[in-house]
Structure 1
Amino acid sequence: MKLNSIHNVYFVGVGGIGMSALARYFVANGKSVAGYDKTPTDITASLEDLGVAVHFEDGIANIPSEFKNAETTLVVFTPAIPKDHAELNYFKAGGFQVLKRSQILGLITENTFCLAVAGTHGKTTTTSILGHLMNVCDVPVTAFLGGISENYNSNLILNGTEVSVVEADEFDRSFLTLSPDLACITSMDADHLDIYGDASELKKSFEEFSKRVKSNGKLFVKNGLPISGITYGIEDDADYSVKNIKIVNGTYVFDVKTPTTVLENLEFNLPGRHNLSNALIALAMAVEYGCPNQQLAKALASYKGVKRRFTYQIKTDDLVFIDDYAHHPEEINAVYQAVREMYPSKKVLAVFQPHLFSRTRDFVDEFAASLAQFDELLLLDIYPARELPIEGVTAQWLLEKVNNNNKKLVSKTELLTEIHKSEAKVILTIGAGDIGEEVKRIKKEFSVAN
């Protein structure tokens, strides 16, 4: 299929973070773009500002007439869309070209020099760092991000079409549609067991992804992972390694040992060793691509982060409020490490919304252990996303397993009241569901209070 022969692109689930990046890309390339999503959000509003026609009720009559021609319209959908979706079934039955988001990424990137970031954690931050580094080094790059970059206020960096930077998503084995020139694997912790069944199947799919790297390409792997490649790590004997870490006014200052040299006194502003690891692999890939070291150092220091990835909402002497997308026990551990490193003596209150019944069931003991580390815990009900309830899998069940005396199950309506009761000087909201909507209310409430 040739994308340049397509005039119209219709998105079923246009408000998704990955889908909306593609929608922006097609608008920038002169295509007519429209789509459906379940609910209005800041993302759908920003798409409408670009001229994308978005509607929020599933109905064939809501599809603009120009998008009902199968010869000129490409349809993109996300696997999160239910199988009984009327519009999606209309397109499938009508002979339209209907492709998943991952397949479109495969088509867009196949004629570019492609840098792909894989791993169960760290993809979005690493991809956005890498896209920023390449952009500042004036590489003709298009970067598709799984989050909103603070530097660009967008999930798309568009500076040319010769090079692409993408997240290689293991969900639904999507990353097997890519054939990257440079790729990395940041982590292979068990996740998405609703798709894979068990951790060994997930590992096999990462092994399969590693074989998708072009024969003359390069694969980078975090030191210790059971896949061979160029290694990277923090303060170890990897091919690329961070050394001599200091924290100066909340900023990491460190050296990076590469296979050929040492880059000294680099600066990076995101807290947490996990973010330092993400910065290292992004830097390593940019170095291997050929970006100049001096420009890379400036680019790294100017990186601001991704929204909902350890994002400061309030930062005063009296109160710190941080929001993070963490939805897996290892990600929660990483957030805890970061907040403890930055605020070693302050009391920390965590507000957590579990994401998916299946993930809660599969990792309940690991979630309980990671959440028990915080001084206080407020737990919201499980956000179901694409799933139906599983008998016995509830937030109360998880809460009972958390070994912490300062814990409580709360509803969203009780949340502000319960936070007010706390003496904690650091508030964390964590989770991948709709807890992001609560962040605005908490920020407003406590900005006024302070």
Structure 2
Amino acid sequence: MTPAIPPAMARPHFIGIGGAGMSGIAKILTRRGARVAGSDSRDSETAAALRALGATVLVGHDAAHLAPDATCVVVSSAIREDNPELAEAARRGIPAVHRSEALAALMAGRRAVAVAGTHGKTTTTSMLAVALTALGLGPSYAIGGDLDAPGSNAEHGEGELFIAEADESDRSFHRYRPEVAIILNVELDHHANYASMDEIHESFETFADRIVPGGTLVINADQEGARRLTARLAGREDLRIVTYGESPDADVRVTGVRQARLTSEVTVVLDGRELTFGVSVPGRHYAHNAVAALAAGVAAGVPAPELARALGRYTGVRRRLQLKGEARGVQIIDSYAHHPTEMAADLDAIRGGTADGRVLVVFQPHLFSRTRELAAEMGEALALADASVVLDIYPAREDPIPGVTSALIVDAARAHGADVRAGHGKDAVPEVVAGMAGPGDVVLTMGAGDVTELGPKILARLSG
């Protein structure tokens, strides 16, 4: 049965409806019968997918876009107060609802599984959503990336489970009340909102406190930040903690990961039983994400052997080591990695099973604040590649910070002996990369901004 829509969400207007998180919520509301409208700065395949479902999607931001009968405006933390639609809503007394509040309303009445962590949320949420769907359980889900087509980041299912990606960047994951939660890792990031690791730990601890009494936290046993959080949570009688990883004391212990090109096979010991299953993406970190999904699904009552087999149905998310094509013996792979830990993990995965030749990276830093704090670590990660081109910083929601440019990363990478060059003009990059690459090489377009648009252009240049 389709849940009732809260009156405030009956005629919502989404500002930035084409974004990964916003579009998913808009899709579910449309499926539940709401009259959804919204705007975005540019047209996109995602906007087209929403229109096909019956949503009204307008291009550009204008006060006139806000319908007379709008019941609320839905915003993310990226929407500034001077946005004309948000300002018009305030003038007319139309309430503003944060994206996380809207998602929490959609999760109400369902058994929620929330996936948190500094890295790997989208992949792990997708793995669990795909596996539960394959088992016929009809989950609802909201993911921060598309599975295999525009608009595939969310679904309204008839089952009792709701799988959601829980974003820590602005503390909005404190609004959820999951029955099962996953914390994949705890690292310092989102420097505009967190000043220290103590603040990060406090935020994740608050998230864990939101798990319903008697619920389960699945948490990484190997990563230092997650282990420290586990220690902070120890002794809570109303919370069941299940650890996973390669550590000997992990409750769900990973005993082996075998990689073969763009796939992996992982073996775990769970409740004294050994299970081996395939994962259709490469790399140890993706295998561990699958184990986290397995542990969470089991905590929600899904039999482990069935879930392990179903996890093999997962074939990846757009921009998570996604193969874009091959030309002249050169593979082009797209990576969303933008934090040094993610960058190093993806480069390690490519090294471990994909590349016969060199690994070449086109990296676009994401956010001035992140670059200011982590430029040295980004440069160190790029030193794992054979050669790199570093683009200008993708600003997203931020204004420039004096003295913070991609040159900080270039200098740091060179300090580690890396072959790295600056690529200030994106239009010239396909020609540059085509001149660098040869048969057997892998080109990795890497970053959370619009660097993804370069993959097809590099392929076209190689094919020309």
TM-score bin (small chain):
over 0.9
8 A contact 1:110–1:178 mirrored in 2: no
The verdict on how the C-alpha distance between 1:370 and 1:87 changes in structure 2, with shifts beyond 3 A counting, is: same
Q: Note if 1:182 corresponds to 2:180.
A: yes
Please state whether the residue corresponding to 2:153 is helix, strand or coil. Answer: strand
**Conserved in 1, the CA contact under 8 Å of 2:327 and 2:459?**
no
- How far apart, CA to CA, are the structure 1 residues paired with 2:173 and 2:385? 35
Specify the SS of the correspondent of 1:377: strand
Identity value in percent = 35
Q: How does 1:254-269 map onto structure 2 within 5 Å?
A: 254-263=266-275, 265-269=276-280
Q: 1:99 is paired with a residue of what secondary structure?
A: strand
Task: Give the aligned partner of residue 351 of structure 1.
Answer: 362
Equivalent AA in structure 2 for residue 255 of structure 1: T
Query: 2:330·2:437 contact (CA, 8 Å) conserved in 1?
Result: no
Query: Kindly tell me: are residues 83 and 191 of structure 1, through their superposed partners in 2, closer, same or farther at Cα, counting changes over 3 Å?
Result: same
Given candidates 44, 56, 59, the residue that maps to 1:53 is: 56
In the other structure, the counterpart of 1:21 is: 24
Cα offset for 1:293?
3.4
Gaps of 5+ in 2: 231-240
Instruction: Report the secondary structure of 1:280's partner residue.
Output: helix
3-state SS, counterpart of residue 391 of structure 1: coil
Cα contact 2:294–2:304 (8 A) shared by 1? no
Equivalent residue letter for 1:158: H
Aligned residue number for residue 236 of structure 2:
none
Q: Paired residue for 2:5, among 3, 6, 12?
A: 3
Aligned with 1:58: secondary structure? coil
1:408 aligns with 2:421: yes
Q: Identify which range, 187-196 or 48-57, moves more after superposition.
A: 48-57
Give 1:287's match in structure 2, choosing from 288, 295, 298: 298
Question: Could you say if the C-alpha distance between residues 433 and 152 of structure 1 is closer, same or farther in structure 2, counting changes exceeding 3 Å?
Answer: closer
CA gap 1:88/1:20 in 2 versus in 1, 3 angstroms: same
What do residues 371-418 of structure 1 show as CA deviations (whole Å, max 9, x unaligned)?
112100101100111111111111123212212452111111110111
Aligned residue number for residue 420 of structure 1: 434
Q: State the shift of 1:198 in Å.
A: 2.0
* Structure 1 outlier segments of 4+, above 4 Å: none
In structure 1, how many angstroms separate the alpha carbons of the residues matched to 2:297 and 2:143?
A: 16
Among 144, 147, 154, which residue is 2:145 paired with?
Answer: 147
Which sits farther off after the overlay, 341-350 or 161-170?
A: 341-350
Matches of 2:360 and 2:128, distance apart in 1: 32
Q: CA deviation at 1:249?
A: 6.2
1:141 to partner: Cα distance: 1.3
**Letter aligned with residue 324 of structure 1:** S
Distance 1:116 1:151 in 2: 23
What is the SS of the residue equivalent to 1:107? helix
SS at match of 1:337: helix
Give CA-to-partner distance per residue, 1:226-251, whole Å, 9 cap, x none: 12221000364311122233335653
Which residues of structure 1 form unaligned runs of 5+? none
Aligned match of 2:407 = 396
After TM superposition, the structure 1 = structure 2 runs for residues 350-389 of structure 1, keeping only pairs within 5 Å, are 350-389=361-400
Distance 2:394 2:149 in 1: 29
CA 1:22–1:12 in 2, change beyond 3 Å: closer, same or farther? same
User: Which position in structure 1 is the counterpart of 2:450?
Assistant: 434
- How far is 1:148 from its partner? 0.3
The 1:161/1:11 distance shift into structure 2, 3 A limit, reads farther
Q: Residue 58 and residue 29 in structure 1: after superposition, are their counterparts in 2 closer, same or farther (change >3 A)?
A: same
- Residue 26 of structure 1 and its aligned partner are, at CA, apart by 1.0
1:119 correspondence with 2:117: yes
Q: Which moved more, 1:293-302 or 1:107-116?
A: 293-302
Instruction: Check the 8 A contact 1:115/1:166 in 2, yes or no.
Output: yes
- Cα offsets for 1:252-306 (capped at 9, x unmatched): 223221124222x311111011100110000111112122334323311221010
Q: Deviations over 1:53-73 (max 9, x none)?
A: 21222222233xxx3235xx2
Report what 1:335 is aligned to.
346
* Alignment correspondent of 1:68: 68
1:19 partner letter: M
- Secondary structure of 1:195's counterpart equals coil
Contact 1:137-1:291 within 8 A present in 2 as well:
no
User: Which residue of 1 is the match for residue 105 of structure 2?
Assistant: 107
**Is residue 317 of structure 2 the alignment partner of residue 301 of structure 1?**
no
Could you report, residue by residue, the CA deviation over 1:333-361 in whole angstroms, capped at 9, with x for unpaired residues?
11111011014652111000000111000
| Change in CA separation of 1:444 and 1:331 when aligned onto 2, cut-off 3 Å | same
Could you tell me which residue of structure 1 aligns to residue 36 of structure 2? 33
Report the aligned-residue RMSD: 1.9
**Alignment partner of 2:210: what SS?**
coil
What CA distance in whole angstroms lies between the structure 2 residues aligned with 1:250 and 1:416?
A: 24
Q: 1:218 is paired with a residue of what secondary structure?
A: strand
Q: Taking structure 1 as the reference length, what is the TM-score of the superposition?
A: 0.93
Which residue in the other structure is 1:245 paired with? 257
Which is worse superposed, 147-156 or 327-336?
A: 147-156
Q: Is the 8 A contact 2:49 2:151 kept in 1?
A: no
Give the secondary structure class of the aligned counterpart of 2:257. strand
Please state how far the C-alpha of 1:92 moved relative to its aligned partner.
2.2
* CA–CA distance in structure 1, aligned partners of residues 38 and 262 of structure 2: 42
* Counterpart-to-counterpart distance in 1, 2:32 and 2:132: 21
Cα drift, residue 49 of structure 1: 2.3
SS for the counterpart of 1:295 is: helix
- Equivalenced residue count is 441
2:86 to 85, 88, 92: 88
Q: Could you give the per-residue CA deviations for residues 124-172 of structure 1, whole angstroms, max 9, x where no partner exists?
A: 0000001111111222310101100128961013331522100111011
Kindly tell me: are residues 86 and 287 of structure 1, through their superposed partners in 2, closer, same or farther at Cα, counting changes over 3 Å?
same
Alpha carbons of 1:399 and 1:432: their partners in 2 closer, same or farther (altered >3 Å)?
same
- The CA distance in 2 between the partners of 1:391 and 1:243, in whole Å, is 48
- List aligned pairs for 1:90-239, cutoff 5 A: 90-150=88-148, 154-160=152-158, 162-224=160-222, 225=226, 226-228=228-230, 229-234=241-246, 236-239=248-251
Aligned twin of 2:238: none
AA in 2 matched with 1:311: Q
Preserved CA contact (<8 Å) 2:114 2:181 = yes
Q: Using a 3 Å threshold, how does the CA distance of structure 1 residues 221 and 422 change in structure 2: closer, same or farther?
A: same
- Scaled by the length of structure 2, the TM-score of the pair is 0.91
